[in-house]
Chain A
Amino acid sequence: MVVKNIVRELDLKVFNKNADLDLEVKGGFVGDLLSHVMGNSEEGQVWLTVQTHKNVLAIASLNDLSAIILIDKQIPDPSMLEAAEKEGIPVLGSDKTAFELGGKLFELLRIDS
């Protein structure tokens, strides 16, 4: 499964123009405490968060995450969007909660495996 598939299945908005939607999705991670995400997320995971600043991109890039999903109608701040355009890591968005999106993503990945 790649990012493109989850964008379609979860009806997500894509915020950055050059987002690499062919990155492979291996799992998901939910968290808003950055050290928790930094220390525990793993390569290929999609990160669900309410954080909308540039450091989110730094962590996603350092940990080789496949995408960031901003939950609950959050939108990226300009510095985050700028960093996303540079890195190519998809910054996605949804009106839904982390609980709902995480549940659906878990199910999608389970069926896919």
Chain B
Amino acid sequence: MSGITFSYKIDGGDFVNAGKASSEIKRTLKQLNVAQKTIKRVVVSLYEAEVNIVAHAHRGEINVLINAEEISITLKDEGPGIESVEQAMEVGYSTASPSVVSMGFGAGMGLPNMKKNSDYLNVESKVGVGTTVTIKVALVG
């Protein structure tokens, strides 16, 4: 079946608007009567991914598809890419700038949080080009 789609554009460094997509998706899932626990998993994953684009990339685009079974989110950015995705998945590993760290971000917990709160996480990256993250969370069962 077809579903509901959303699309957002994000600018690197724009911390003022970080979380907008997460907030709108949260509202939509609430209206669809998705369980609160599931909404929280989606919101944690999406917010972390959103902040990663703001903190590291030049710009990015988020595409969301919600159908009866699952929510599927693709975040594609243009940016420095990730040298070692395996290393980036480790808790505590971070390449965030000092200014980002001083805000309380960049503690090396973002990708681990996304892994923990999603049913499917895929990170594809090319150094100097950008990163595409795909997150899926089941909405039923």
- A residues within 8 Å of B by Cβ? 32-36, 38-39, 43, 49, 51, 53-55, 58-59, 61-63, 79
Cβ-defined contact, A55 with B109, below 8 A: no
Q: Known contacts A53-B15, A55-B18; can you find 9 more A-B pairs with CB under 8 A? A: A32-B104, A35-B110, A35-B113, A39-B116, A55-B103, A55-B104, A55-B105, A58-B23, A62-B47
Judged by DSSP, the binding face of A is helix
Residues of A within 8 A of B105 (CB): 34-35, 55
Q: Are A35 and B18 in contact (CB under 8 A)?
A: no
Question: Measured between alpha carbons, how far is A58 from B104 in the docked complex, in Å?
Answer: 13
Which residue of the partner chain, among B19, B36, B109, contacts A58 with CB atoms under 8 Å?
A: B19
B43 at the interface (CB under 8 A from A): yes
Q: How far is the CA of A59 from the CA of B116 in the complex (A)?
A: 18
* Nearest Cβ on chain B to A69's Cβ, whole angstroms: 15
The B contact surface, by secondary structure, is: helix
Give the CA-CA distance A46 to B22 in the complex, in Å: 21
A79 to B116 Cα, complex, angstroms: 31
A27 to chain B, nearest CB (A): 15
| Docked CA distance A101–B116 (Å) | 31
Cα distance A61–B116 when bound, in Å? 21
Interface residues on B, range: 20 to 34
Confirm or deny: B48 has a beta carbon within 8 angstroms of a beta carbon on chain A.
yes
Bound state CA distance, A32 and B107, in angstroms?
10
Whose C-beta in chain A lies nearest to the C-beta of B43? A62
**Complex Cα gap A40–B136 (Å):** 20
Given contacts A33-B109, A34-B104, A58 and B44 within 8 Å (CB-CB): no
Q: A39-B109, A53-B15 are in contact. Are A62 and B26 (CB under 8 A)?
A: yes
CB-nearest residue of chain B to A36: B109
**In contact, A33 and B19 (Cβ under 8 angstroms):** no
Q: How far is the CA of A49 from the CA of B104 in the complex (A)?
A: 10
Rounded to whole angstroms, the CA-CA distance of A32 and B106 in the bound complex is 12
Interface: B117 (CB within 8 A): yes
**A64 CB, min distance to chain B CBs, angstroms:** 9
At the interface, yes or no: B4 with Cβ under 8 Å from chain A? no
| A43 B36 Cβ-Cβ under 8 A | yes
Contact with A along B65-103 (1 / 0, CB 8 A): 000000000000000000000000000000000000001
Is B16's CB within 8 Å of the partner chain A? yes
28 A-B contact pairs sorted by A residue (CB < 8 Å):
A33-B104, A33-B107, A33-B109, A34-B51, A34-B103, A34-B107, A35-B48, A35-B105, A35-B107, A36-B107, A38-B47, A39-B109, A39-B116, A43-B36, A49-B104, A53-B103, A55-B18, A55-B19, A55-B51, A55-B104, A55-B105, A58-B19, A58-B47, A59-B19, A59-B47, A62-B26, A62-B43, A63-B43
